[in-house]
A = this chain, B = another copy of it.
Amino acid sequence: MTSVLPPALEAGRELVEPALRKAVARLDADTRQVCEYHFGWSNADGSPAGGGGKALRPALVLLSGRVVAGDPDDVLAPAAAVELVHNFSLLHDDVMDGDTERRHRPTAWTVFGRSPALLAGDALLALSTDVLLDPATEYAAAAVRALSGATRELIAGQAADLDFEERTEVALAECLRMVHDKTASLLGCSTALGACFLGAPGETVRRLHAFGTELGMAFQLVDDLLGLWGDPQVTGKPVLADLRARKKSVPVVHALVSGGAAARRLRELYAQPEALTEDQLEEAAEAVRESGSEEWTRAECARRLDRAHQQLPEGDPDAVRSLTELAEFIVRRKH
């Protein structure tokens, strides 16, 4: 792994940020302040800040447009729109999950309150369609519908994730479905949306969508592994963070349903009313390893990446190479 971001990611962020800022500037002052803080453009007091997320989804939209020889300027609208939807979901999920930190800063709801953060999320979702239809180009309506469908899946995924917290039994297939809906769906949509917005042939759009969806699955599986064994110095999260919160991530669910002695021990630990001690956390992590679930997750991740590559369409060779690079970066990342 290199700590240098792929050029497509850097370029994407630089291109899309002005469009995002312009969209957010349409909001009323209160809601705008919350959004600008959340995006990392300003501090809590409104003073400028230089932060911001990776903007992975806009980069995928721009590459998707480049694959069909589109000009980046012609797909800025869908690139901004997917980032608005992504950030709508982050703002709402942070409230629902009670998460207090994101991108090494206090989450918006801890700074401004729950209701203003929820309203800011609502506003970003409403803005996303506005941005796609301003002006309404020939294929904009198809793009809005694709994005709206992915948004519904995102919501279904978050609903399933919350539901899993309440349940003791979660099947692996259900868990993978949740990952598809919560993460892979919007990544698949992003990777198709640039081409879709430019009216590319259906087969190209379909292949890009399949590439992005498989990549999205791999992305989340890496995230799940980092949630267990990521370096706290790099991830900014405590050691074994997901076990501590007893998350039902893919490797954990794989271990829980694996049926051996390790699975039984992991079930006991997950059912324990008290917080897990550091020793018990190590024990739980060991149970996931012993069940073969770390290995299975890594292998599944490689399979998904492989299937993603098989779906890559013909198109601009530079853009196709950049998509490949971005996929490799996503799977090898340490945070």
Contact = CB atoms under 8 A, between A and B. Distances in A.
A30 B152 CA distance: 12
Interface stretch (A127-135, A230-238, A252-260, A291-299): A127-135
Most chain B C-beta atoms within 10 Å of own C-beta, residue among A122, A123, A136, A140? A122
A141 interface: yes
A160 to B, nearest CB: 7
A133 B156 CA distance: 21
A115 B115 CA distance: 13
A177 to B, nearest CB: 10
A122 B125 contact: yes
Q: Chain A's interface: helix, strand, loop or mixed, by majority?
A: helix
A119 interface: yes
A120 to B, nearest CB: 9
A266 B24 CA distance: 39
Contact of A141 (B27, B31, B118, B141): B141
Contact of A152 (B27, B133, B141, B163): B27
A138 to B, nearest CB: 10
A160 B30 contact: yes
A30 B142 contact: no
A158 interface: yes
Contact of A156 (B30, B114, B156): B30
Given A96-B115, A119-B159, A159-B119, A127 B152 contact: yes
A137 to B, nearest CB: 9
Contact of A28 (B118, B145, B159): B159
Given A30-B163, A123-B152, A152-B26, A118 B92 contact: yes
A129 B115 CA distance: 24
Contacts of A162: 115-116, 119
A159 B30 CA distance: 7
Contact of A96 (B118, B136, B156, B163): B118
A173 interface: no
A105 to B, nearest CB: 22
Contacts of A140: 141
A130 B140 CA distance: 13
A5 interface: no
A133 B126 contact: no
Contacts of A96: 114-115, 118-119
Contact of A145 (B133, B151, B159): B133
A20 B142 CA distance: 21
Nearest to A123: B155
A148 interface: yes
16 contacts: A27-B156, A28-B159, A30-B156, A30-B159, A31-B156, A116-B162, A125-B126, A126-B151, A126-B152, A126-B155, A127-B148, A129-B144, A130-B149, A133-B144, A133-B145, A136-B141
Given A96-B115, A126-B155, 20 more contacts: A28-B155, A28-B159, A28-B160, A30-B159, A30-B163, A31-B159, A88-B122, A92-B122, A115-B162, A119-B155, A125-B125, A127-B148, A129-B129, A129-B145, A133-B144, A133-B148, A136-B145, A140-B141, A141-B141, A144-B144
